[in-house]
Every structure is written in C-alpha cells, then in structure tokens.
Amino acid sequence: MRMKGAEVLLRCLKEEGVEVIFGYPGGAVLPIYDALYSSEVKHVLVRHEQGAAHAADAYARVSGKVGVCLATSGPGATNLVTGIATAYMDSVPLVAFTGQVATHLIGRDAFQEADITGITLPITKHNYLVKRSEDLVRIIKEAFYIARTNRPGPVVVDLPRDIMEREMEFNGYPEEVNLRGYRVLKSCNMGQVLLAVEAIRQAERPVIYAGGGVISSGASEVLQELAIKMKIPVATTLMGIGCFPETHYLSLGMLGMHGTRYANYAVSESDLIIAVGVRFDDRVTGKITSFAPHAKVIHIDIDAAEIGKNFGVDIPIVGDVKQVLEEIVPRLEPREKFSEWHRVIDRWKEEFPLTYSESREPGRIKPQYVVEQIYYATQGNAIITTEVGQNQMWASQFYKFTRPRTFITSGGLGTMGFGLPAAIGAKIARPDMTVIDIAGDGSIQMNIQELCTAVEQRLPIVICILNNQYLGMVRQWQELFFGGRYSYTDISLQPDFVKLAEAYGAIGMRVKEAQDVAPALREAFSVTDRPVVIDFWVEREANVFPMVPPGESLYNMLGGEE
C-alpha cells in the first residue's frame, strides 16, 4: 500500500498501541501534523517542548507503557533535551520523534537544523536519523523495542521532512526485531542465585535496599513477599518509593542524604544488603568507602554495567529483578520470629522519628504539615508528582506511599520544572486517580506555561506550591555550608500565583494559616474540570532534615527534627 511517510509513522504508532503523543508543531513536522489531523492517535498540545518530554515521561512511569513525544527540528528538538536526559537518568521508556530538515539540506546549516542525534548521543539509550524511506518502519519498531526492553531508556528518532512527505510502500508492521548486538536478557546465573539464597538464610541483620528497577520490572509484589517472608526491613531510594508500602512495619522509608535516620543506621549496621534495581547513587550511599561497612552485598540489576560501577559487591546477579526474585523467594523458608535486629530498629524509630516542629513565623505554615495534610486528605490514594528541591524531599518524607507508580519525580537528573508537565502526563495515563504536583515556588516557574495545557485538556490536577520565596534547597546549603550567604536564592519578587492561575483559566487559592490547609485541599479535590493552584505560604527558612552532608558517611546525619 502506498502512503506518505507521515501516514506510515502514524500507522506504526497505532500498531505499537500508542494512545497519546505529547507534542508541539513546527515547520519540519508539518507533514506529521497534517496526518495527525485525521488520526485516531490523541495529541496533547503542550506550550513548550520540554513539557512534552516530561509529560510523556510521566505517562510512561505511571502507565508502564512507552511514552511518546514529538517536536520540530532545531529549537523544537533541542528543547526536548532536558526531558530526554531526565528520562535517561531515571531509565524511563520514551520515544522522542523530532522533525529534521529535508535530507538534501542535512549538514548545510539549513534553517532550523540541529544535529539532534549528535546532541542526544550521551543521553539516549539509542538514536536514529531516518535517511531512507525504506528504513522508516524498521526503525520505529526497533525504537520502541529498545526503549522498553532490558534497562528501559529514551530513544530518539529524527525524521527528515521529505521522508515524511514522500509516498512510500507500507507492507505492514514487522512482528520481530533483528538486532544482533542487542539481546534481551532472559535468564540469570543460577549459581549466583543460590549464593544469594544462602546469604539471606544466614544473615542476622539484613536490609533490602530497593530502587526504581523494582518498579520498572514490576517486581513490587515479589519484593514484598521476600521482605515479609524473611522479615527483612526495606529501605528505598527516591526512585524506589512506592515499591514497598511505607505504612508497613518493615518499611524504613527512604535512605540516603535526606533519608530517615533509622534507614541509614540500619544500612550502616547491617550484615547483608540486598540491593535490588539500584545504582549506588552518591545521594544514597554518602561517602562510598563507608557505605554498609559490615555487610555482605547482593546486587541484582538488569544492567551489568551497574554492577561494580560505583561499589564493589559480593554477590552480583545480572538479570531482570522480578525474575531473579522469583527464583530466590521460593528457595527460602520463612523466618518465624522477629529478631533482636528488629528491636534495634524499633528503638531507632522511636528515638529518631521523622518529625518537625511548629512554625515560628505567624502567617506561615510548616511545609511538612502541608504534605502530611495532602496524605490525610487522599489517604495515600493519589499520584504525587514533584518539582525538585525541598518540596521533593518533603514529599518523599511526609507522604506515605503504598503502591508503585504513584510517586513521580526526577531522581537522577533533578530537573526543576518536571512536576507540572509530569502531573499532566500522569493524569492522562490515569484519569481515575487524583494527581497532585507538590511544587516549590522556584521550580514551578520553570514550566508554569503548562498550566495552559492542563486547562485546555480540562485536567483537574492540584498544584500545591510550598511557597517560601526562596530557592529553598540551595538556600539550605548556603545556610549550612556557606555561612548563610544567600547568594541569589531569595526570590521574593514573584508573580501572584493566584492571579496567574486565574489568568490561565485555572483556579487559584492562597493559604497562610495551618487551619486552612485541609479545607483548601478538600475544596481543590472537589474540582473536576480544571487545574487548581494552591499557593501555600510556608515558613521561609524551614530545612529538610535529617541530612547527610555531601561526602560524609551515612552515620553522620545533621538534624533530628526540623
């Protein structure tokens, strides 16, 4: 069948089961937009391409499918870069289509030309420039396959305008992919599995250290089975939040720089670390040479290159986390009793709970209180996206996550401006769920134009700005490590967020008193047809505690309570 390249592209997307594309039109992608005009694939028009990448990324994180975004050549494509890098660092399956100038113009510095495959080389799992019509279908198939298999990641497909315009033969979508250098890992080393089983049997002070890999491989249930069967406490990374219910007795919450004291102490005192789908990020381990000094370490990861990259381990197991755990768990006999180890942890939990004091400033609320109230109002039954900074850490500390794919945050790259477009992607993936963006006043201004997208899509997402009129996390570091010299972190000059929300067609609210927090949230959650922005005036110099200073060991935490 003869069709235009753009029509072939959309046929392929349909075959892949793509339901929604987040994008922004431009000259080089006009043929694609023309084909979209009469296509069944839903297109969400964002207001900045970065928003498209983040929305597609969050759609993928929430749904478990591949997220898709589309931008034009040159500036459109380069505006995706931050979003692509974000997805790369957090191992999110994303396919980004970019327009490109016509093939005969490539390399001539044509209008709106950028070498996007060159630019995205270090931040993609793979990328393609389609130079011949006959390669188009194969490349699309490969792009989706690579994005979602093994360790997921973003793939860029650069589409020259003439290839999208020209008619070509479409002979159906291939069933199989033939990439001899890329094989999907199907099994793991059983010898290593047995070693791990033995180590778990013998451990007296074990801790599970679970990360984003648990969520992306769908291993939450089997991980819970392991923890509960063997009575092993579970600490998660920021990316792993939700893979184990934080309301469970065995939950230690998050570990690392802003983790709980008891998680960090447990890791430091443990005799066995079961590291699952993690990459020993410096924000987690603190000073690497003093991480888990007494422990034997099992490391399970699908990416062989992660094993031994930052930290030497005793029992490496390369494999899909879910498959490996499914091999391990049935080989273990349940542990009957809680041990001395649990009593030690209980004492730490009692002695060093996550807590905060009353606000010292009249007319200002404690940010932690707002997060707690959001938790009470939703009963933990919501998807929380965050911006980056203090808001993100308070969200991770004071909201109790019980299910995977409900905490959507930029972990690896720490991308300010992520939360609002992510909330849009999340709500589109799960319209049945309450979606809340916990934001900072600095971060929210990085992609606030996406309010327009949310209004246009009639998405009732709730944006809770923890407004301290500072770039709070940077200010906190300046307070602690730079003698209180607040160099350019005071952002008291701000737009009126209530009026700004209204200007976009959203609902704006302002809350300055603690007693008004819960009623405001209730009111916001009753809105069904548009976004709500709540501007919470929070204590200006509240800090995120506890904290491991950069480069210190997990033992040396600052601040028990804020």
Partner 1 sequence: MKHTLSVVVENHPGVLARVATLFRRRGYNIDSLAVGRTENPAVSRMTIVVEGDDVVIEQVTKQLHKLVETIKIYDITDQPTVDRELVLIKVKADAQARSEIIQIVDVFRGRIVDIGPNSLIIEATGDTGKIDAIEASLRPFGILELVRTGKVSMLRGAR
List residues near partner 1 by CB under 8 A: 117-118, 121-122, 125-126, 129, 146, 179-182, 303-305, 308-309
Provide DSSP, 233-277: -EEE-TTTTTSS-TTSTTEEEE-STTS-HHHHHHHHH-SEEEEES
In the complex, least distance from residue 69 CB atom to partner 1, rounded to whole angstroms: 21
Positive or negative: CA dihedral 203, 207, 211, 214: positive
Provide DSSP, 421-445: HHHHHHHHH-TTSEEEEEEETTGGG
Q: Of 17 and 122, which CB lies nearer to partner 1 in the complex structure?
A: 122
Residue 458 burial (10 A CB sphere; 0-12, 13-18, 19+)? exposed
> Residues 490, 493, 497, 503: what is their CA dihedral angle, to the nearest 10 degrees?
-150
Q: Of 107 and 172, which CB lies nearer to partner 1 in the complex structure?
A: 107
Q: Pull the structure tokens for residue 425.
A: 């992607």
In the complex, least distance from residue 155 CB atom to partner 1, rounded to whole angstroms: 9
> Residues 524, 525, 529, 532: what is their CA dihedral angle, to the nearest 10 degrees?
30
Q: Of 306 and 441, which CB lies nearer to partner 1 in the complex structure?
A: 306
Q: Are 35 and 163 in contact (CB under 8 A)?
A: no
CA distance 199 to 194: 9
Q: Of 2 and 183, which CB lies nearer to partner 1 in the complex structure?
A: 183
Q: Of 117 and 359, which CB lies nearer to partner 1 in the complex structure?
A: 117
In the complex, least distance from residue 211 CB atom to partner 1, rounded to whole angstroms: 18
Q: Of 127 and 543, which CB lies nearer to partner 1 in the complex structure?
A: 127
In the complex, least distance from residue 79 CB atom to partner 1, rounded to whole angstroms: 21
In the complex, least distance from residue 103 CB atom to partner 1, rounded to whole angstroms: 13
Q: Alpha-carbon Rg of the chain, whole angstroms? A: 24
Q: Of 201 and 309, which CB lies nearer to partner 1 in the complex structure?
A: 309
In the complex, least distance from residue 372 CB atom to partner 1, rounded to whole angstroms: 41
Amino acid at 86: T
In the complex, least distance from residue 113 CB atom to partner 1, rounded to whole angstroms: 17
Q: Of 118 and 550, which CB lies nearer to partner 1 in the complex structure?
A: 118
Q: Of 180 and 337, which CB lies nearer to partner 1 in the complex structure?
A: 180
H-type alpha helices, 496-535? 497-504, 517-525
Residue whose entry in the numeric block shows the structure tokens 């279908």: 137
In the complex, least distance from residue 77 CB atom to partner 1, rounded to whole angstroms: 17
In the complex, least distance from residue 117 CB atom to partner 1, rounded to whole angstroms: 7
CA-closest candidate to residue 244, choices 268, 270, 274, 269 = 274
Positive or negative: CA dihedral 386, 388, 390, 396: positive
> Residues 173, 63, 146, 96: what is their CA dihedral angle, to the nearest 10 degrees?
80
In the complex, least distance from residue 180 CB atom to partner 1, rounded to whole angstroms: 6
In the complex, least distance from residue 181 CB atom to partner 1, rounded to whole angstroms: 5
Q: Of 1 and 305, which CB lies nearer to partner 1 in the complex structure?
A: 305
Residue whose entry in the numeric block shows the structure tokens 């994005």: 147
CA distance 147 to 125: 7
Residue 172, classed as helix, strand or coil, is coil
Q: Pull the structure tokens for residue 105.
A: 């113009």
